[in-house]
Amino acid sequence: MEETPFGYRVVTPEEVDQARREGDEDAAPVLLDVRTPQEYRSHRIPGAILLPVQELAARWQELDPDRRTICICEHGIRSESAAAFLAQRDFADVSTMRGGMSRWAGEIERG
């Protein structure tokens, strides 16, 4: 886990996989997929919710700022923008997944 000066952390895909498997549903992090709907349908981490980065400014209030949130995209660029945006809105624990789905080796859902 790496701290950034922008108020969010960078976590590895392995750390994301471990976090999503630990604890009960209330303790599991929100896996926030900020890619396009087409990318999300193509492949995603099980349990991830879709909120495209271009909709984040209008819909961020739908998220719980007290719940751990991990932003995910295809390569890590859009998720960094999303994580910084949420950190600026006082989300208590927000991260981005380094390398995005291109580095994810865990379980995948499709469709």
Residue-wise over 18-27: b if at least 16 C-beta within 10 A, else e? ebbeeeeeee
Catalytic residue (choose from 71, 73, 82, 87): 73
Give CA angle at 5 (55, 101), nearest 5°: 50
**73 is an active site residue:** yes
Active site residues: 73
